[in-house]
Every structure is written in C-alpha cells, then in structure tokens.
Amino acid sequence: MKVDVLLGLQWGDEGKGKVVDVLTPRYDVVARFQGGPNAGHTLEFEGKKYVLRSIPSGIFQHGQVNIIGNGVVLDPVLFREEAEALRQSGVDLTKVLKISKKAHLILPTHRLLDAANEAAKGAAKIGTTGKGIGPTYTDKTSRNGLRVGDTLMPDFAQRYEAAKQRHLRQMEALGTTNHSNLPELEKNWLEAVEYLRNYDLIDSEHYINNALKEGKKVLCEGAQGTMLDVDFGSYPFVTSSNTVSAGACTGLGVAPNKIGRVFGIFKAYCTRVGSGPFPTELFDETGKRMRDIGHEYGAVTGRERRCGWVDLVALKYAVMINGVTDLIMMKSDVLDDFDTIRACVAYKINGETVSELPFDIQSVDIEPVYVDLPGWKTPMNQLSDESALPKNFTDYIAFIEKELGVPVTILSVGPDREQTIVRKNF
C-alpha cells in the first residue's frame, strides 16, 4: 500500500481541512506531517463549524486512527485547549489520536521568541501567527529541541530549564527583557505536558509503515501551502517547515516510493495572510468583493486575508514540486456572480514575459499577464452533480487543467461537507 498526500498549493487556507474530512471515510489512518498550531483547518457539517489547529481533520468520521506525526511541532497548552473543546462537543480523542514521540514541543519561550524576532525585524516582519513556529523548528535543526518523548525521560525538567535559559539569553540579545507573565505561562505549560501523557505517545513511523504492510489506507494531511514552504516558497516570507509532498516523507517516516496520489488543493482565486509578495493581489473593489463573499479572514488570527486572481505561474510550480496527481478546486462558488474571471498565465518583469516562477518575486515589479474568461453567473452552492455545472464554469476548469496538465477531480462549492462534487474522473 502507498500513502496519499493532500496539501495546499497556494499560501495556505485553501480548504484542506474540509477536503480531508470529506475523503476520510476512504482511509483507515489520517496523519498530519508538518506545521503546528499556525494552521487553522475549518470543517463544517450538520450546521456546526470546527477549527482544528494541531489535530488532524479525520477525527469526525468513524473508525479512523489520527496521527500527529514527527514533523509536527506541538504546543501542549494549545493542544489541551483544542482537545478539551472537542471533548465538550462529544469527541473523545484519547481513543482515536496517537502522537509521535519525535514531534517537537513548542515551549512558552518559543512563543515569546517568535514575538521578539518579529519586533526586531520591524517593517520587514514576516507577519507570523505568533505561535512560536520559527523558533521551535530552529531549535529542532540546531539540535536543541525537546520532543514529546523527552517528557517521559527522567532529565526532562533539567532539559526544559536549560532550553528556557538559552531562550532568555537570546531574547536579551534581541532587546526583550520583560517576561513578567512567564511564570504563569510556564506553570500552565508544565500542567499541559502532564495532560499529554493521557494520550497514546508512539513511534509513529513504525505504526504507519506497519499499517501500510497490513494493507491499510493512509491519508497525509498537509498544513500551510506550497508557497509557504521553507525551501520553495516566497522565502523569507514563509513558514519554517517543508509543506510540500516531500515533507510527508520526513514528517512521517514514509519512504518516497510509498507516496501514491498527491491531492493538490487550490482556491478558484488566491489569498495570502501576513507579509510577502503576492503578484496577483488586488487592492480594488474586486479584491474586497472576494474577501467579503469568501469570508477571507484568518481562522487562527482573524487577520484579513489578502485576495487576488488565481496565479497559474505559481500553481504550475506547485504542481511540479509536489508531483500533484489530482487537483481539487475550492471556493468556486465565491466567484458565482463575477462577470469576468481572470487567470494569470505569465509575469511581465522588466519588459520580459516569464512563465516559470523566478527566484525573485519580491524586489521586482511584476505585471501579471491575464487571460479573461466569462463568468458563469449561476449560484452553485446547491449543486451536487457535475452534469449540472454551468458551461462557463466547466470551461474555466478545462482551461486550468490544460494549463497545469493535471485533472481537477474534486470541486467544492460551499463550506459544508455536503457542498462537494466528486467528479467521475476521481
């Protein structure tokens, strides 16, 4: 058996949570492979809405095992908050969730360091989610991190203290010395670490590979998006993990030859939260309309999402890097009432037309080259079968498939689980 991977092709918030939930009944195991509580994955069904941050989006279906993989960074405090809120809604995670002992822990001082780093950058700040993601992955790669499994070791308290002292020295160097709330944060964090021990802490790489040997089906859930990948995204305005399909190999211990289908998710338009380049961003009424109709506000921070037309230069790059086998188009309904739909097919940089994503999209002026297509002017929220889709919409899909060379196999026409069209070519 092979694992399938589902990931974002843009700058995050493409709708990964919703589709993982829709596809979960086809799988036995759902596993997150990177990122942390910077993610906000929204699911809607039976009139209720849930936002998941560290917990995989397969927990609401029945019978699947959900795994937080080694590539994830976990904040015990936010995890406890999320798990307890779910328990209130009737989901007992202790039965369906397993956590890798190799996942790295986000410490209270990682969050403080995240804020201190951002303050030190001033106008050049990344606009992080403030969850301590960068400092935690930095400690991981500099071999200073603490892992979930370390909480079971006798020297955990000393190692925690050493990490904290190191972080305090780093913050002093950044000119941040007031940490009056740290004792309280720390107390809360240590209690949450105790709470973590109620869960099944496992060697998830063995668990997943054994599951594959037994013929079980595994879906790997990405967080963020390809343009936020630390290697291939719009660096330095990125997150600190590999969000691309290769991240599923390192983030779960799955060998490259065990990757099956790669589901690449994108919005029928494009959004971004935080700072950094966004070639097709709209600053006019059209962008505002996308934000209003699509409710484009961050699931974690509530920040306004920047909106613009779909960028096929960036998408083509994402399809290449990830080896996408299936495209999934989200939020098509948001464009239902637009007269014209634009798709960026190339960039004009210094008079030259560029169709491959270049190294620098930050310090140069980019003029997007658009192809205009007629809008479908039909409400699609209630449609459940592809035969009922308006022709101008299927023409838009066919245009994207031709440009990207990969079929669109699932369409989403609303936030609810039911508002999903699985096409015949799936």
Site map 127..166 versus Mg ion, x via CB under 5 A: ----------------------------------------
40 or 69: whose CB is closer to Mg ion? 40
Per residue in 251-285, is it b (16+ CB within 10 Å) or e — as a string?
Answer: bbbbeeebbebbbbbbbbbbbbbbbbbbbbbbeee
Q: One-letter amino acid identity for 147?
A: R
Query: Residue 388 CA to chain centroid, in angstroms?
Result: 31
Which of Mg ion, ligand IMO, ligand GDP, none does residue 331 bind (CB under 5 to 8 Å by kind)?
Answer: ligand GDP
Binding site partner of 133, from Mg ion, ligand IMO, ligand GDP, none, Cβ cut-off 5-8 A by kind: ligand IMO
Q: At what angle do helices 108-121 and 182-196 cross, to 10 degrees?
A: 130
Q: Do 310 and 266 contact (CB within 8 A), yes or no?
A: yes
H helices of 68-196, in order, are: 76-88, 108-121, 133-141, 156-173, 182-196
Collapse the DSSP code of 422 into the 3-class scheme (helix H, G, I; strand E, B; otherwise coil) and give the result: strand
Among Mg ion, ligand GDP, ligand IMO, none, partner that 242 touches (CB below 5 to 8 angstroms by kind): none
Which does residue 126 bind out of ligand GDP, ligand IMO, Mg ion, none, counting CB within 5 to 8 angstroms by kind? ligand IMO
Is there binding between residue 40 and Mg ion (CB under 5 A)?
Answer: yes
Query: Would you count residue 299 as binding ligand GDP (CB under 6 A)?
Result: yes
CB of 129 to ligand IMO, least distance (A): 3
96 binds, among ligand IMO, ligand GDP, Mg ion, none (CB under 5 to 8 A by kind): none
The binder of Mg ion chosen from 13, 75, 221, 296 (CB under 5 A): 13
User: CA-to-CA distance for 67 and 148, rounded, in angstroms?
Assistant: 13
**Other CB atoms within 10 Å distance of the CB of residue 413:** 25
Count of Cβ atoms closer than 10 Å to residue 184 Cβ: 10
Q: Choose, by CB under 5 A, the member of 3, 77, 146, 299 that binds Mg ion.
A: 299
User: Is 326 one of the annotated active-site residues of the chain?
Assistant: no
Q: Which residues bind ligand IMO (CB under 6 A)?
A: 8, 11-13, 35, 38-41, 126-129, 131, 133-134, 223-225, 228, 239-240, 273-274, 299
Query: Which phi and psi (to 5°) does residue 121 adopt?
Result: -80, -20
Pick the catalytic residue from 4, 13, 114, 336.
13
131 binds, among Mg ion, ligand IMO, ligand GDP, none (CB under 5 to 8 A by kind): ligand IMO
User: If binding is defined by CB under 5 A, does position 230 make contact with Mg ion?
Assistant: no
Q: Residue 335 is which amino acid?
A: L
Burial tier of 63 (Cβ tally within 10 Å: 0-12, 13-18, 19+):
exposed
Token digits for 91? 């989901």
Stretch that binds ligand GDP, among 227-235, 253-261, 330-338, 361-369 (CB under 6 A): 330-338
How far is Cα 201 from Cα 195, in angstroms, rounded to an integer?
A: 12
243 DSSP 8-state letter: -
Q: Are 195 and 4 in contact (CB under 8 A)?
A: no
Least Cα distance to 38 among 206, 188, 235, 241 occurs for 241
Q: Tell me the three state secondary structure of residue 118.
A: helix
203 is catalytic: no
Nearer to Mg ion, 14 or 139 (CB): 14
Nearer CB in complex with ligand GDP: 117/412: 412
Contacts of 388 (CB under 8 A, 6+ apart): none
Pick 358 or 390: Cβ nearer ligand GDP: 390
Q: Which amino acid is at 69?
A: G
**14 versus 403: smaller Cβ distance to ligand IMO:** 14
Residue of 4, 28, 41, 104 marked catalytic: 41
- Determine, following the binding rule CB under 6 A, whether residue 18 of this chain makes contact with ligand GDP: yes
Q: Smallest gap, in angstroms, from Cβ of residue 14 to ligand IMO?
A: 7
Binders of ligand GDP among residues 21 to 80 (CB under 6 A) are 39-42, 44
Task: Report the partner that residue 129 touches, choosing among ligand GDP, ligand IMO, Mg ion, none (CB closer than 5 to 8 A by kind).
Answer: ligand IMO
Task: Answer yes or no: are the C-beta atoms of 65 and 96 closer than 8 Å.
Answer: yes
Positions annotated as catalytic residues are: 13, 41
Binding site for ligand GDP (CB under 6 A): 8, 12-18, 39-42, 44, 294, 299, 330-331, 333-334, 412-415
* Chain contacts with Mg ion (rule: CB under 5 A): 13, 40, 299
